[in-house]
Amino acid sequence: MRAVVEGDRAALVAATADRLEALLGERIAARGRATIALTGGSVGIELLAALVDRRIDWEHVVVTWSDERFVAADSGDRNARQAREALLDLVPIPAANIRELPAADGTSLDDAATAATGLLEALGPIDLTLLGMGPDAHVASLFPGMPGVREGGARIIPVRDSPKPPPERLSFTVEAINASERVWLIVAGADKAEAVALARSGASPDEAPAGAVHGTLETLMLLDADAASAPA
């Protein structure tokens, strides 16, 4: 996994916004649209906020999420709601291009996972999956030792016991993430340094889910200097 290191968190966010703006332009020119799976987390949301004023042809961008908290649609915990407030409500992206994973409004988690799997199938190829990473080396809602890190077959799994609240979530599996053309992990802060080193060391997926993800064309770990500060 190639690492790109920027000086600090603000520089990381700005450089990743540049990279993303360029990728979206390139994919739209090449195939008429760009499809990306967004991430929650504080750095992921800062990245979205940094895209508001960029030159992006939003009409041709389709977004979904690599994981979602299974809470009510209007909950402030929803990655989709945070993304709307930071970016999607502020740019001319058509409503039909925003493919939210289901919310917990009268539907069961299992039914939501089935619906999300259908949504993912209808989406076609994903140009880029964005991921944050926790200090335990989790990505999306794939925590160390959980099913979905190794299991084949499923592309979306229901998560019932996330160690980080809220406990119920929907998540891309490693298999779904690894079907994306590009996978970018965006990670800032000294509290992530050990997990970055572990993920890059070839640790098992059960120990470091972040080390198991890769794109079919490109895999990047986009880091600030603090996150890159532990010896690999």
Binding site for ligand 6PG (CB under 6 A): 39-44, 132-134, 141, 164
* Closer by beta carbon to ligand 6PG, 120 or else 187: 187
Shortest spacing between CB 40 and ligand 6PG, in angstroms: 4
Distance CA 13, CA 141 (A): 22
* Closer by beta carbon to ligand 6PG, 40 or else 144: 40
Shortest spacing between CB 18 and ligand 6PG, in angstroms: 19
Q: How many helices (H) and strands (E) does the chain have?
A: 6, 9
* Closer by beta carbon to ligand 6PG, 132 or else 148: 132
* Closer by beta carbon to ligand 6PG, 133 or else 193: 133
Give the residue closest to ligand 6PG by C-beta: 41
What is the identity of the amino acid at 28? I
Distance CA 222, CA 182 (A): 13
Shortest spacing between CB 151 and ligand 6PG, in angstroms: 19
Output the DSSP codes for 139-195. Answer: BTTB-TT-TTSS--S-SEEEES--SSSSS-EEEE-HHHHTTSSEEEEEE-SGGGHHH
* Closer by beta carbon to ligand 6PG, 43 or else 112: 43
Instruction: Please tell me whether residue 110 adopts helix, strand or coil conformation.
Output: helix
Distances from the Cα of 119 to the Cα of 70, 192, 199, 225, angstroms: 16, 32, 29, 37
Shortest spacing between CB 68 and ligand 6PG, in angstroms: 9
68 - beta bridge partners? 170
Distance CA 110, CA 7 (A): 42
Using the structure block, give the residue that is written with the tokens 């999300």. 116
* Closer by beta carbon to ligand 6PG, 55 or else 161: 161
Instruction: Please tell me whether residue 109 adopts helix, strand or coil conformation.
Output: helix
Shortest spacing between CB 139 and ligand 6PG, in angstroms: 7
Is the separation of the CB atoms in 31 and 181 below 8 Å? no
Shortest spacing between CB 141 and ligand 6PG, in angstroms: 6
